[in-house]
Amino acid sequence: MWSESERRDWAEFEAAAERAGGYLAPPKRPLIMDYDYRAMSKYATKKGVTSMELTEEERNIFKFDPPLVYN
């Protein structure tokens, strides 16, 4: 679970990213599941919540397989 301070920090980060036109999070390692954070943030904003307050089912709507990364 996130602390209240971490939730506030995340909400501030999301707001700044939205003002900047969104953000993309590159895969951290090959073959992992990732999310379309921009679309998830817009969806959560329309619901009046943060992305962290979405249910797992709602977050899964935005899952995608990133391209393979070869090092």
pLDDT tens digits, residue range 24-44? 666 565 555 678 888 899 999
Task: Give domain status of residue 11, yes or no.
Answer: yes
Flag whether 47 is in a domain: yes
**Cα gap 41→10, rounded to integer Å:** 11
- pLDDT given for residue 25 in this prediction: 66
Q: Say yes or no to pLDDT of 67 above 70.
A: no
For the chain, what is the mean pLDDT?
Answer: 80
Is there a domain that residue 22 lies in?
yes
The single residue listed with the structure tokens 């919540």 is: 49
Structural domain contains residue 69: no
Least confident of 11-15, 22-26, 41-45: 22-26
Question: What are the tokens at 12?
Answer: 């501030």
Q: Is residue 33 part of a domain?
A: yes
Q: Enumerate helices (H) and strands (E) in the chain, giving the number of each.
A: 3, 2
The answer as to whether 71 is a domain residue is no
In a domain, 15, yes or no: yes
Closest CA to 18 of 42, 35, 40: 42
| In-domain check, residue 28 | yes
- Who wins on pLDDT, 71 or 46? 46
Task: List the domain range (segments joined by +) for residue 57.
Answer: 4-64
Question: Residues 14, 38: contact at Cβ < 8 Å?
Answer: no
Answer yes or no: pTM beyond 0.75. no
Q: What total number of domains does the chain contain?
A: 1
CA distance 14 to 29: 23
